[in-house]
Amino acid sequence: MMNHSDSASKHRKRLLLITGTRPDIIKMASVYHALQKESSLQPFLVHTGQQHATMTDGLFEELNIPLPDEYRPYIKQTAEQQTTDIMQWCTAIIDKYNPRMVIVLGDVNTTVAAALAAVKKNIPVAHIESGLRSHDYSMPEEKNRIITDHLSEMLFVPSMDAYDNLQIEGIDSARIHFCGNTGADTLFRIRRSAQKKQYCRKHSLFPGKYIVCTFHRQSNVDSKKALEKLLIAIHYITKILPVCVPIHPRTRHNITHFHLEAYIQPSMVFKPIPPVNYTDFISLILDSAMVITDSGGVQEESTLLGIPCLTIRNNTERPITIYKGTNTIVGTDSKTIIYTIRKILNRKNNIPYIPYGWNGNAASCISSCIKNSV
């Protein structure tokens, strides 16, 4: 005999939330929570294992979401192989669940692969974090963003510049929804516990007296010349303040591959550490004097926390973090980086501004839009 809960579950509309990387799981967590509250919707979490498990171990428990309903273990592959395999795997998952909608986020290989798998099956796609553009078409992420946006039925933009980008590309405004930044929802939820931690002290660092540095982008770590240039720049920075570097698995692999291990020997002022969990990482940012990164997510997090950020790239798909937030583009030239660090550290009374709509309510807005659409 079917009980009441089984019957209710049977009539809920199935949604697949497909992610594959740590930043996207963090941003999707708040969406899952919001959708789960809707009695007419039944969200399922799907994890493609795009990143090495060291980046996502314990993350679901930390974010208070269940383990994935479907999981593909990480396999080391080229970007092309990975995208193809994830698309095929997602196709099988879509066949299994027959969802009303597939929801993807961001700009990674999983995003575009899952979107392609869905549209091939005539399943509508909702893309969270739509419309972001660096206008650097050499970036794999830029291609993923554009393709996914043009495949999607519902496009959720985190900022009005992203809305404008989509309209310029001819996407019908009826498909575009401004709901804000789901990353803000998750960050605000864990901020208090991160503040209490002072995780920096575990690595003999003192609040306000160190810099956090992260880098993993293809342009920065996939050639020996570029990676060595950055590692040398970091050692120049340690003459100003100690630097803590949570090393991404991709970066760690390439440091070994290019025989650059000599640059990551720990010292009193250089602290290379393994990837840390999300709350500990936010704690590191909160207590830092500054963040140096090539990560789009970290650009947003530092803006939300009011911490100065230097982006070691020549562009960003998140320009709102520059003209509304705390972010500055500096490229990878050591002299420019050092000059900007000194300039920012000498600045007084800098009042941070959080972009419009980054208020912790993005997921509930997205959930309402999806509920009314499926």
Active site residues: 216
Token representation of residue 91: 């196709």
SS3 172: coil
The residue type of 295 is S
Strand partners, 154: 126
Strand partners, 13: 41
For residues 274 and 289, the answer to whether their CB atoms sit within 8 Å is no
Token representation of residue 146: 């554009």
The helix or strand, by DSSP H or E, that contains position 177, with its residue range, turns out to be: strand 176-178
The CA distance from 84 to 250, in Å, is: 20
Sign of CA dihedral 186, 187, 188, 189: positive
The CA distance from 146 to 175, in Å, is: 15
Place of tokens 């306000």: 208
For residues 240 and 261, the answer to whether their CB atoms sit within 8 Å is no
The helix or strand, by DSSP H or E, that contains position 191, with its residue range, turns out to be: helix 182-197
For residues 128 and 156, the answer to whether their CB atoms sit within 8 Å is yes
H helix runs in 130-181, sequence order: 140-151, 160-168
**Residues 6+ away with beta carbon under 8 Å from 27:** 105, 106, 128, 129, 181, 182, 183, 186, 297
